[in-house]
Amino acid sequence: METKQNESSSQLHHLSTFLERTGLSRSSAYREIQRGTLKVVRIGRAVRISENEIRRFITEVENQE
């Protein structure tokens, strides 16, 4: 069970998945990346976001409201 949780939390997602889950626009997401409030993994030109980072970002936004 713990292994599955670790695998899913370390999974990397496309930016489009992040946009769907947060409702942010593409330009807003890139702005957050530039500010350093959204940490991404770059693989060549591709941008990927870990499951943990998506959850952290959503929690942070919810706590601000």
- The pLDDT of residue 5 is 56
Question: Domain segments of the chain: what residues?
Answer: 2-64
- The pLDDT of residue 25 is 98
The one-character DSSP state at 10 is: T
- The pLDDT of residue 24 is 97
Running along the chain, 65 residues long, what does each successive block of 10 average in pLDDT?
59 97 97 97 96 96 89
Whether the CB-CB separation of 48 and 13 falls below 8 Å is answered with yes
Q: What is the pTM of this model?
A: 0.82
Structure tokens at 47: 């941008």
Selected from 1.10.645.10, 2.60.120.260, 3.40.50.12280, 1.10.1660.10, the CATH number assigned to the domain covering 2-64 reads 1.10.1660.10
What SS3 state is found at 24?
coil
CA 27 to chain CA centroid, Å, is: 14
- The pLDDT of residue 30 is 97
